[in-house]
Amino acid sequence: MPPMTPGNSENVENRKRGGFSSPFLGIELPKPLSKRSATFVPPLIGSESSSSGGSSSSTIQEKIPPFILNEQDILDRKTTSAVTVDTRFARHLRPHQKSGIQFIFDRLRRGSGKNGGGGGAILADDMGLGKSLQTMAATWALLKGSKTAQQLANSCLIIVPSSLVNNWKAEFDKWWRLMRFPAVIALTANDITTYQSTIKLMPYLVISYDLAQRHVEKLKIIRFDVMVCDEGHKLKNLDGKLRKTLLSLEIPRRLILTGTPMQNDFEEFYSLLDFVRPSVFGSIVEFRKMCSDRPEQLNELIDECMLRRTAADVDLKHLPEKHEYILFCAASPIQKHVHSEICDYMTGDALSLIFFARQLANHPKLLLDNLREKTEKSKAHKHSPLLLAFDGAHMPRGGVKESGKLTALVDMIKCFRLLQECTVIVSNYIETLDMIQQLCEYLNFKVLRLDGKTQVPDRQKLVRTFNDHRDPSNIFLLSTKAGGVGLNLIGASRLVLFDSDWNPANDQQAMARIWRDGQVRPCHIYRLITTGTIEEKMLQRQIKKTGLGCVIDAIEVGDTIATFTDEDLKDIFTFTGSATECNTHDLCECPCDGCGMLENEMDEEDDGDDVVENDAEKIDKSGKIDKIDSDDDEEADDEELEADVTDEVVEDSQEPPEATKPAVAAAGLRTIASLAELSRWRHFSPRHADTWHHFMTNAGLSQVDTDVELTFAFYQESQY
């Protein structure tokens, strides 16, 4: 195997840094998998476009029926010139991609117009449904249509996150191999100048958001016809500098690509809608009023400019099944002790305490090192008293057993290596990735790593190396923010989300890295949660937030993200891990008792005793759990919470008076309803030994020490 690119392992001595003691867990290495070739078959090179008068160059292509985008215009006798999708794309399109291309073309060909007339659009498909392919096919038809009487467009600006510049270059390479490359990839200001002289031959300019902001005056000179904003949720800030900069380009046709159009609240969603269709939705005040007074009319306007399909909406039989797990890990004795100290210590600086609690949930030594660093900088640091929580008996030394999640992770990656499968591990924190990298290298894994410090040119090399060498001893470490969008890590079939983000969209983006086009193995995605800690509260808020994604179906005023009240903060810092195996399951008030059966399956049971006795057999027969096929310096967005956090945390509240009990009961019902999404998942408790063993085996976790490490699990299979 050739040497790894930056981010890999080098020698054992370098593995013992950072103060973490050497883990004692060992493993016998299996033979690596043989190398496997990429599954994508490059497209046959078609004519430039039938709309440009080119003829097919092969018999095969002549048999492909043309995909005509302006068929209605021809039927209405508005034109005799057909605008078609180039055969290089048309022969590979799936039904949902065809409808997406038609949607984009119909909107963009009209132009946005200064008064909102015409057609900007948002393509908001789920990750992995081919947004880039649909975009290239539709915009290429617009550009090639300019050679007919249509005169649709001559130039297209594609603006992307810096980490995705090379991804777009690779996409163009894939579809235009052996043909004249149609795009200038702007890495410097000189590339923008080069583009000005090559527009007729190379109509696309691909540029990062950062470079576009720095050289906006150069871009204004070009007068683009079409603008595509990949990961366009970056424009969610209505008064943000980036949004204002791109609007100043005055490009008439605007297309936003995003898998997460609705992340936090209506204002962010409005910002995207108004960007592609200025003035159509009025002011933000008028938009909110329309939500309450005329929701049906608003939905019609949204449907006109935004197309969103989820994985459940389309035929994804070309992808293998996907298995998702939420694993609740028992906190270690040190974690329990220090967490109680944080609860007792609560002061007005809630944001810092939230950050500390998240570090503690990953590993207590991460928190200890952070506090020591702050104290060294300022002896009178306001949080230095927290160091007293780390007394002699509770002094972390970096051992694996000091963290419930790290203990589980070690057993998990051992299992995956025995199953001959590669793994991706994702975290929000650089320090956590450092800790996991040291551990993996000690266990003789080869580590590739992509975070905020990874140079853009090196990112695609790392991805290519990992995907091409499907060695089960390879671990790919990924920063949630740096690598959470656009990367195709199909060389792995197991992904572990070590810690969560407050924004569910960031986690969903990260977890979608392995279940994508080209994947041939069943995918297993695991989210680790430390039981009873702030991580459970984050999970619960995430589940409530994802309800915002239903805004297109039913918009309700007031369904914005709740602010953190004093009571919220009190709840966040309350440790419940000693009193429950899963606080989230308790809040659901699910009657399954962790037996693994769905509620409708339990309703079909005549004898309640049989539920426990025969649940493993029933789940096996249902086919819901299949056997395993063995064949940036970025930190978490805690600063985004500032608007949500109040200054002080109130003292423990007393039992509510009789007059308030109905309100308390109503609040409880709202909590149950907000967690209803979990009713689609199976719930497993180790108390049901046979079912638990069956579940762990099918999850590929048969060697995980569940008596110590896991307290509960949620499971869902997605197979389309």
**What are the 10-residue block averages of pLDDT along the chain, 720 residues in total?**
41 38 35 36 37 37 70 75 87 91 91 57 89 95 68 90 89 88 94 94 96 96 96 92 96 92 80 93 91 87 90 75 94 88 69 88 92 74 73 77 93 94 95 95 94 85 89 92 79 95 84 86 95 91 62 36 62 79 88 88 60 42 37 41 38 42 44 69 93 93 77 82
Q: Are 132 and 164 in contact (CB under 8 A)?
A: no
Dist. CA 27–CA 36, nearest whole Å = 25
Q: Provide the sign of the torsion angle of the four alpha carbons 341, 343, 345, 349, taken in this order.
A: positive
Task: Report the run of H or E that residue 204 belongs to, with start and end.
Answer: strand 204-208
**H-helix segments, 553-593:** 566-572, 583-588
Amino acid at site 1: M
Structure confidence by residue, pLDDT tens digits, 178-234? 788 999 999 999 999 999 999 999 999 999 999 999 999 999 999 999 999 999 999
Task: Tally Cβ neighbours within 10 Å of residue 156.
Answer: 27
Rounded to the nearest 10 degrees, what angle do helices 284-293 and 295-305 cross at? 120
- Token readout for 255 is 């297309």
Dist. CA 230–CA 437, nearest whole Å = 31
- Structure confidence at residue 77 (pLDDT): 75
Task: Report the run of H or E that residue 696 belongs to, with start and end.
Answer: helix 689-698
- Structure confidence at residue 542 (pLDDT): 83
Structure confidence by residue, pLDDT tens digits, 609-636? 444 444 444 434 333 434 333 334 434 4
Q: Are 531 and 711 in contact (CB under 8 A)?
A: yes
Q: Are 303 and 552 in contact (CB under 8 A)?
A: yes
Q: Which stretches of 330-450 are assigned E, i.e. beta strand?
A: 423-427, 446-450
Structure confidence by residue, pLDDT tens digits, 174-183? 999 878 899 9
- Token readout for 661 is 């009990």
Residue linked to tokens 């419940």: 576
- Structure confidence at residue 506 (pLDDT): 83
- Structure confidence at residue 475 (pLDDT): 96
Residues 6 or more apart whose Cβ sits within 8 Å of residue 33 = 420, 470, 471, 472
Q: Are 157 and 228 in contact (CB under 8 A)?
A: yes
Task: Give how far Cα 411 sits from Cα of 68, 94, 269, Å.
Answer: 54, 40, 42
Structure confidence by residue, pLDDT tens digits, 525-566? 999 999 999 999 999 888 876 644 444 333 333 333 345 666
End-to-end Cα separation, the chain, in angstroms? 36
Amino acid at site 127: M
Residues 6 or more apart whose Cβ sits within 8 Å of residue 26 = 443
Dist. CA 229–CA 122, nearest whole Å = 9
- Structure confidence at residue 140 (pLDDT): 94
Task: Give how far Cα 122 sits from Cα of 231, 296, 516, 646, Å.
Answer: 11, 19, 21, 35
Residue linked to tokens 């690509």: 257
User: The whole model's pTM is what?
Assistant: 0.69
Q: Provide the sign of the torsion angle of the four alpha carbons 442, 447, 450, 454, taken in this order.
A: positive
The pairing of strands 423-427 and 226-230 is unpaired
Instruction: Domains for the chain: give ranges and CATH numbers.
Output: 60-91+95-313 (3.40.50.10810), 322-328+400-718 (3.40.50.300)
CA 599 to chain centre: 29
Residues 6 or more apart whose Cβ sits within 8 Å of residue 89 = 43, 46, 101, 133, 136, 137, 140, 175
Largest CA distance in the chain: 86
Amino acid at site 75: L
Q: Provide the sign of the torsion angle of the four alpha carbons 81, 85, 88, 90, taken in this order.
A: negative
- Structure confidence at residue 228 (pLDDT): 98
